[in-house]
Structure 1
Amino acid sequence: MANVESLCAQLLRFDTTNRGHGDAEGERDAAEFVAGVLAGAGLEPVVLESAPRRTNVVARLPGADPSLPALLVQGHLDVVPADAADWTVPPFAGEVRDGFLWGRGAVDMKDFIATVLTAVADGLRPRRDLVLAFVADEEDRGEYGAHWLAAEHRELFDGCVAAISESGGYTYHVPAADGRDVRLYPVGTAERGTAHMRLTARGRAGHASRPNHENAVVRLVGALQRIAAHEWPVTLTPTVEAFLVRTGEALGVEVDLSDVEGTMARLGPAAKLVEPTIRNSTTPTMLDAGYKVNVIPSLAQAQIDTRTLPGTEKQLLEEIDELLGPDITREFVAHQPAVQAPVDSPWFTAMADALRSQDPEAVVVPYCMGGGTDAKAFSPLGIACYGFAPLWLPEGFPYRAMAHGVDERVPLEGLHFGKRVLEHFLTHC
């Protein structure tokens, strides 16, 4: 029987750092290791490089009922950078300490990959065909990984109608109104879209000592101030509404959908799961203007991180254009639509059943992810994408600070729990 702890540790020891802008190369070594595990289990993995050493692995595991549509199980091999000087243990040591496995990627997301590979190595016999995809470049733009596969190798995903991946199915401890410890397990059924934009202001260049009412910098700063000060309205998508209602019921608190802010205050710590996704966001993050302090430039630029809830992008862009005014233009630097899968579906029910098979008191709720995942590559293929990477977590464990954080680690007990839940789901869904 394969050991999920050992396999995860081996994955963590591959330095698959993705520094962005094409600067990554360690994915190749990790992909070859993954392909070896799959081949050892009797599968025929396909290894595909979108660029030198930007490597993806795809394999199909036949199910017991070939008449059923296939399920995509996907995860990314790359990780964000880690500065070893900040860490308690070396970030690529894959070291076990105090009941936890430490390393960059431990929760984002080599833990899930390890549970999948271990289940397959142990002879998993799923109910339906599984397409297993382990990809490059999720931590940047996905252009060497999931988006490239979806565009150039669409046939590998034929028959897939649903997918699971990060990030959901983990334990989230919340105190109820009567003092009980309620164990929520949020399952991702949606994620906000990405509409990152570059704003460009143009004006009249000139000497900074002279009056100039066509100063590009002033025009840009004014537009940014209007955007930063704008409060986007609360918008309840089906996922967010279901989260509020079901979580409130589990915690025994009043839910008033006409007063979302008040409801969130009553939800206590559970509100953190929904706080980023009750409205759109536009956050200025980058500025670029001028080359000398006494010269007014003719051009000034900024970038804004824009996240859109399902079904809201058109209206948001119209409002942004009004806020920008006549002297500012915009263009997308990254544009991927929001993702939404059915909340009430046989897939969600099967995930909830699998979690309750290992934690009978699990309260499984849908939630919307504030950021983005490779679901944005696979959703346009007609695949309903869910965030379901099951993991048990002890009370007080700072899970949401682990991804991309210092001293990233995963509880060993959580890995075993995740493997058991995953096996139940894949053999029953």
Structure 2
Amino acid sequence: MLRGNDSDGGADGAEEGAADAAADRAVVDDEVVRFTSDLIRIDTTNRGDGACRERPAAEYVAERLAEAGLDPLILESAPGRANVVARVGGADPLAPALLVHGHLDVVPADPDQWTVHPFAGEVRDGMVWGRGAIDMKNADATMVALARSWARTGRRPHRDIVLAFTADEEGTGAYGAEWLAREHAGLFEGCTEGVSESGAYTFHTRTERGGPARLYPIGAGERGSAWLTLTAGGTAGHGAKVNHDNAVGALAAAVARIQEHRWPVRLTPVTRAAITEIGAALGIKVDLDAADFDADRDLDALLDRFGPAAKLVRATVRNSTNPTMLQAGYKVNVIPETATAGVDGRVLPGAEEDFRATLDDLTGPRVEWDYHHRSVPLVSPVESPTYAAMRTALLAHDPDAHVVPVCLSGGTDAKQFSVLGITGYGFTPLRLPPELDYGALFHGVDERVPVDALRFGARVMDRFLTTVE
């Protein structure tokens, strides 16, 4: 009799627990969409001139976290340039803490070019529209919704989770993550790893035999930023007279050399793993260590076989330098004394010395160059338990997919937090339909995210954060 009663009670308890879990999922499903819309409506446009005001978005986030019983801190690096940091206590106080960070600022958007006003936060056709829907107010909303879920249900992550909502990621990070790491390092005590944007989204492609394949790239490295200013000096004079000491000519020649330079292939451990694992997912045999494989000669042909999936790695097999700005003179018949150019350089881990030496050669003796902005390249282990937990969480919700590591071609706030010894990963889960081009939505017109993708992402992130040890 006792056994029967226990069994019935257990069944009743299980049913009640399942009902409670379903009810909480429904709340998370609602909140992650609503919070994304609300945050989009708060215009936090960052034009890089220091005038952005993240404060209203920071206050919104802090209020939602405070309602969940947390003690969020709003930290201003300058008037209006606000960040939010809060800590969620884990079940094991001896375990290392995990940083989960997202930025509150967004790039500019011209309403005249959009189907839906970029700051309306409108839900239409199953999508949340607006600037920040992908980059990255969707992830901020997920962080807030999950913190509230844990408070409602009494569930706790294994590790302490430090939530950071930063200013100025779309600038240089000087008002956000860089300032936090320098001035408030104590808030991140115990954090050994961090997760943030630009990873774990669905990348639709096809196998070599033509069948569909879904990849989820996880960011496990970043190229470093090397924004350069080139300066050429010369002799000013009349435009009608011969002048062999022409600053414009010297600068133009250097810019042309930089544009035409083909950087050699340099495969980091992350990119080697990416090429190998993408090849396996597509049914393409890859042996980068084969005696007859020459990366500079053969890699591009191999990546051509990857089809659309080549985009995941092609930009990160080399350093890059793209001329982006030119400035000289004030009148067509006056030869100026100086001319300047801007170059967007990106540097792979371990390639900094080669980058500098090559720029010295390309610019030559007539042109000086220096860093306008510089950030370190990153590489993160793909054999770590944290990476394994991210992979497991994704496959639990999309078991037929393939999870692959990638190095990001650009950069995130992970660079700023790396000075605290925090290893960074790009992990913002989204299951996207084939017709939606994730890459084109970043900083693009009609940025939007499917409602279903937000809900998928919240469930994957919840599983990851509550299971990773």
Question: Do they superpose with TM above 0.5?
Answer: yes
Deviation at 1:296, TM superposition (A): 1.2
Q: Is the 8 A contact 1:238 1:343 kept in 2?
A: no
Q: Distance in 2 between matches of 1:313 and 1:284?
A: 19
Matched, 1:166 2:192: no
Deviation at 1:316, TM superposition (A): 1.1
Q: Is the 8 A contact 1:256 1:263 kept in 2?
A: no
Deviation at 1:172, TM superposition (A): 0.7
Indicate the residue corresponding to 2:167 in structure 1: 136
What are the within-5 Å matches in structure 2 for residues 259-270 of structure 1?
Answer: 259-270=298-309
Q: Is the 8 A contact 1:76 1:134 kept in 2?
A: yes
Indicate the residue corresponding to 1:426 in structure 2: 465
Bigger shift: 184-193 or 389-398? 389-398
Q: Which amino acid aligns with 1:80?
A: V
Q: Is the 8 A contact 2:217 2:404 kept in 1?
A: yes
Q: Distance in 2 between matches of 1:95 and 1:207?
A: 58
SS of the residue aligned with 1:107?
A: coil
Indicate the residue corresponding to 1:53 in structure 2: 80
Q: Which amino acid aligns with 2:103?
A: H
Q: Deviations over 1:65-86 (max 9, x none)?
A: 1110000000000111111111
Indicate the residue corresponding to 1:112 in structure 2: 139
Question: Which of 443, 455, 459 does residue 416 from structure 1 map onto?
Answer: 455
Q: Is the 8 A contact 2:208 2:305 kept in 1?
A: no
Q: Is the 8 A contact 1:254 1:266 kept in 2?
A: no
Q: Distance in 2 between matches of 1:198 and 1:177?
A: 43
What are the within-5 Å matches in structure 2 for residues 83-122 of structure 1?
Answer: 83-122=110-149
SS of the residue aligned with 1:422?
A: helix
Indicate the residue corresponding to 1:189 in structure 2: 220
Deviation at 1:107, TM superposition (A): 0.3
Deviation at 1:324, TM superposition (A): 1.0
Q: How many residues align?
A: 428
Bigger shift: 358-367 or 256-265? 256-265
Question: Which of 145, 149, 162 does residue 176 from structure 2 map onto?
Answer: 145
Deviation at 1:298, TM superposition (A): 1.5
Indicate the residue corresponding to 1:310 in structure 2: 349
SS of the residue aligned with 1:236?
A: coil
Q: Is the 8 A contact 1:196 1:304 kept in 2?
A: yes
Q: Distance in 2 between matches of 1:253 and 1:82?
A: 40
Bigger shift: 118-127 or 77-86? 118-127
Deviation at 1:256, TM superposition (A): 4.6
Q: Deviations over 1:285-308 (max 9, x none)?
A: 111111221221111111110000
Q: Distance in 2 between matches of 1:296 and 1:12?
A: 48
Deviation at 1:179, TM superposition (A): 2.9
Q: Deviations over 1:151-204 (max 9, x none)?
A: 111111111000000010011111112333211000000111011111111111
Q: Distance in 1 between matches of 2:435 and 2:230?
A: 41
Q: Deviations over 1:201-240 (max 9, x none)?
A: 1111112211111111111111111111110011111111
Indicate the residue corresponding to 2:430 in structure 1: 391
Structure that is richer in helix per residue? 2
Identity across matched positions, percent: 55
Deviation at 1:255, TM superposition (A): 2.1
Indicate the residue corresponding to 1:203 in structure 2: 234
Q: Which amino acid aligns with 2:415?
A: K
Q: Which amino acid aligns with 1:142?
A: G
Bigger shift: 255-264 or 66-75? 255-264
Q: Distance in 1 between matches of 2:267 and 2:62?
A: 42
SS of the residue aligned with 1:156?
A: helix
Q: Deviations over 1:290-344 (max 9, x none)?
A: 1221221111111110000111011111011011111111111001111111121
Q: Distance in 2 between matches of 1:303 and 1:412?
A: 40
Normalised by the length of structure 1, the TM-score is 0.98
Matched, 1:328 2:367: yes
Question: Which of 387, 400, 403 does residue 439 from structure 2 map onto?
Answer: 400
SS of the residue aligned with 2:35?
A: helix
Q: Distance in 2 between matches of 1:83 and 1:33?
A: 24
SS of the residue aligned with 1:188?
A: strand
SS of the residue aligned with 1:122?
A: helix
Deviation at 1:30, TM superposition (A): 0.7
Q: Distance in 1 between matches of 2:206 and 2:401?
A: 14
Task: Report the aligned-residue RMSD.
Answer: 1.0
Structure 2 unmatched ranges of 5 or more: 1-26
Indicate the residue corresponding to 2:329 in structure 1: 290
Q: Distance in 2 between matches of 1:198 and 1:319?
A: 15
SS of the residue aligned with 2:112?
A: helix
Structure 1 unmatched ranges of 5 or more: none
Normalised by the length of structure 2, the TM-score is 0.90
Q: Distance in 2 between matches of 1:194 and 1:290?
A: 28
SS of the residue aligned with 2:75?
A: strand
SS of the residue aligned with 1:241?
A: helix
Q: Is the 8 A contact 2:233 2:367 kept in 1?
A: yes
Indicate the residue corresponding to 1:33 in structure 2: 60
Q: Which amino acid aligns with 1:407?
A: D
